[in-house]
A and B are shown apart, each in its own frame.
Chain A
Amino acid sequence: MVGSRSISARVLQVIGNAVLLFGVFLTVMPFLYMISASFKPGNELYTIPFRFFPKNMYIGNYQQLFGQTNFVRWFGNSTFMALGRTALAVVLSLMAAYGFAKFDFRFKNVLFLLLIATLTLPIYVILIPLYSMMIGFGWINSYWALILPFGAQAIGVFLGRQYLLGVPTEMLEAARIDGASEWGIFWRIIVPIAKPVTATMAILFFSAAWKDFIWPLLVINDDSMFPLSLGLPSLIGPYTQEYGILMAGSFMATLPILIIFLIMQRRFIEGIMAGAVKG
């Protein structure tokens, strides 16, 4: 890219960036459409041609969303479900990961192989017995059903083990010599050391839980127990075509994840990418 090539390189750069920016436009456009629609009264949405900026900022959709629908409750349900699953899965994963990374015990390899073998199995395999189990336990329409079955995430054990393998064993031995209990070692040495991988796991589990759709669809049918993924679509009913409210709700449902993302971009991307790494 020196000398005579620099001009053609410059031209290519402009073209390349124009194409990329068009891609960005296509990516962002649906979000802008959503936000724009959420500030329009119902009838203005159907006007042709589409105008991005509403004639005047209409906040009626938000008023209705918070005042006349169960949105706040759904938001709370989603938050509770996501936090519950995340907390449980992070703690259990980290404990098991520590067991696998730093101890030798009988059946260790067998159990680890079992985890690897079951990792690729799709959730659809277990859907039917798990659903029957929820009925048997009387857990339909309960937080138990939303949280507990997702408390053990094999991928978390993998990520945690991978990370903890790098922790020097001498450090733990030294603590043992000093008379620290095994739980004390876990709690006071492993947990602080594992902060980065804990954050990765937490983001992965939280965003998966926040998006979960099929499981709530099966085990929740009571409006007041809906997470957002069920609540929002329920707004398009036989009586309403209120897309404005729908878009307001969609925007509000996306906002928390967006904020977390903006605060901790790098770790967030790491967390999502880790989700697909299997085996």
Chain B
Amino acid sequence: MSVQQSPETAPAIRPRTRGGTRSWWSRHEHDIAPYLFILPFFLIYGTFFLYPVISSFILSFYKSVGIGSRTFVGASNYVQLANDPRYLKALVNTTVYTLASVFILSPLALALAMTVRSFLVPSPNMQSFYRIAFFLPNLTSFVVIALMFALIFNKDFGLLNQALAGLGLPKIGWLRDTRFAMPSIVMVAIWTFLGINSLYFLSGLQAIPEEINEAASIDGATRPQTFWHVTLPLLRPTILFVVVQAVIFSYQSFDLPYLLTAGGPSDATLTLAMYLYQTGFSRFNMGYAAAIGYSLAMIAIIVSIFQFGLFRLWGEE
């Protein structure tokens, strides 16, 4: 590196003394530099993120349909949300989806991570094989995932119904039946996110020193006992992290349900983000859509605060 190339300059001698011969720039460079380093980032961030954040907040207090017309309506958009059956339907759907990712996906991911790390898979090669195999869906875009599964879920010739037929069971209109549409999307979500979540658990498990488990088994603890009383408590920070991520991202779910069912049949899979999209960009009810956006933000903020509080109480010991 070019830095070490001048041995004649002893570190004790500081040419950086404020001499009158040096230019204004070289005297102030060090003080100005940090602002110049952060400036480009904040220009873009301010223009395309912070400004819209504020502007959207203001917009949520206006009735603004189409382009141009704007009337201040106070909090009435928010009041309307609380009485809007489609919004409430979307809220329920999104909550169901979120609960599924917290109570089905996350435990499944933990089980997967535990299994891959346990004595059941002794060879490191097999461990990394499983890691990579379950990670594959993360390489795939939601569009491709949706196209693949639309075919698999197809009522007439889809793989899933062929498997059912093989078992002598009747065909199911997976994505077209109000009873099955949401469970189908949950299945796709589990398929997609199982690998990455188990990787979080794996890295959490790796942080637990092997000696602790050994000590427990020397003390006569059985495997289930070790799991409940040693591993699980030590894994709390990771569990909290995975669950919070699941809640925040599930509440923002858009791509998969939009591409698989477009919210149907009869709003059975309408999510909050999708309702925002429809409100803002099909019906051009901008003010109301902004309010939906802020209701989503509120959920994320509450969950984050909750996480922060819980983490201090419970996560670090």
Contact = CB atoms under 8 A, between A and B. Distances in A.
Contacts of A171: 3
Nearest to A173: B11
Contacts of A98: 37
A100 interface: yes
Chain A interface category by residue count: 35 or more
Given A28-B133, A174-B3, A177-B15, A210 B141 contact: yes
B144 A48 contact: no
Interface of A: 1, 9, 12-13, 16-17, 19-20, 23-24, 26-31, 33-34, 37, 45-50, 88, 91-93, 95-96, 98-100, 103-105, 108, 111, 114, 118, 120-133, 135, 148-152, 154, 157, 171, 174-183, 186, 188-189, 192, 207, 210-211, 213-214, 218, 228-229, 232-233, 243, 246-247, 250, 253-254, 257-258, 261, 265, 269, 272-273, 276, 278-279
Contacts of B254: 124, 213-214
Interface residues of B, number: 106
A92 B41 contact: yes
Given A33-B159, A181-B29, A232-B143, A96 B136 contact: no
Given A129-B290, A179-B6, A273-B199, 5 more contacts: A13-B121, A17-B126, A105-B31, A121-B53, A243-B151
Contact of B159 (A50, A108, A186, A265): A50
Q: Which label, helix, strand, loop or mixed, suits the secondary structure of the B interface?
A: helix
A37 B137 CA distance: 18
B41 A177 contact: no
Given A124-B293, A128-B289, A157-B41, A182 B162 contact: no
Contact of A125 (B3, B16, B297): B297
29 contacts: A12-B119, A17-B120, A20-B115, A20-B130, A27-B133, A30-B145, A30-B149, A34-B144, A95-B38, A95-B41, A99-B35, A105-B34, A114-B50, A120-B303, A121-B53, A121-B300, A124-B292, A124-B293, A126-B48, A135-B67, A157-B41, A177-B13, A179-B9, A213-B142, A213-B143, A247-B151, A250-B143, A253-B141, A269-B131
